[in-house]
């Protein structure tokens, strides 16, 4: 089974033109994303919802992510059918 070791985390950065917060998706390792409080995360390829898993005892298995629902259109999933497609339930911008 393929594992996802990086994900996208939504962070808010000030927009210089309006002064309001604008969403920015940042790629980071799963073990770092787990340490953040109250974050929105998504698969960095298909933008679908994922679940983060902590590392096991002695680091085996590594911290990783898995799709909440299997998606055959994502190359990072365990059921990729060879044709990339955005998730049917993408996490927005």
Tens-of-pLDDT digits for all 93 residues of the chain?
467 999 999 998 888 888 888 889 999 999 999 999 888 999 999 999 999 999 999 888 999 999 999 999 999 998 999 999 999 999 986
Nearest-angstrom CA–CA distance, 51 and 54: 10
- Neighbour count for residue 2 (Cβ, 10 Å): 13
From 38, 36, 34, select the one nearest 51 (Cα to Cα).
34
Contact 84, 73 (CB under 8 A): yes
| Domain locations along the chain | 1-93
From 1, 4, 10, select the one nearest 90 (Cα to Cα).
10
- The pLDDT, as a whole number, for residue 93 is 63
- The pLDDT, as a whole number, for residue 72 is 95
Nearest-angstrom CA–CA distance, 42 and 46: 8
- Structure pTM? 0.84
- The pLDDT, as a whole number, for residue 2 is 64
- The pLDDT, as a whole number, for residue 47 is 96
């Amino acid at each position: 089974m393929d594992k996802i070791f990086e994900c996208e985390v939504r962070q808010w950065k000030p927009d210089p033109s309006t002064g309001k917060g604008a969403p920015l998706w940042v790629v980071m390792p799963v073990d770092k994303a787990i340490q953040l409080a109250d974050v929105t995360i998504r698969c960095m390829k298909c933008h679908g919802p994922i679940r983060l898993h902590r590392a096991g005892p002695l680091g085996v298995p590594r911290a990783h992510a898995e799709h909440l629902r299997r998606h055959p259109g994502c190359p990072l999933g365990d059921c990729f059918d060879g044709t990339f497609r955005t998730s049917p339930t993408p996490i927005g911008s």
